[in-house]
A = this chain, B = another copy of it.
Amino acid sequence: MPIQIKTLGRSDLLRLPPGEDLLVGLYRICREQGVSLGVFSATGSVRNATLGHLDQECGDACRQILDTDHELVHCGGNISLQADSLSIRAHAVVSDRQGQVSAGELLAAEVHVVELFVQEVKGAPLTRELDPETGLWLWPVA
Contacts and interface: CB of A to CB of B under 8 A. Distances in A.
Contacts of A24: none
Interface string A31-57: 011000101010101010001111110
A6 B11 contact: yes
Interface string A79-116: 01000000001011111110101111100000011010
Contact of A139 (B15, B47, B64): B15
A140 to B, nearest CB: 7
B7 A11 contact: yes
Contacts of A94: 103
Interface string A60-76: 00101000010111101
Contacts of A69: 54-56
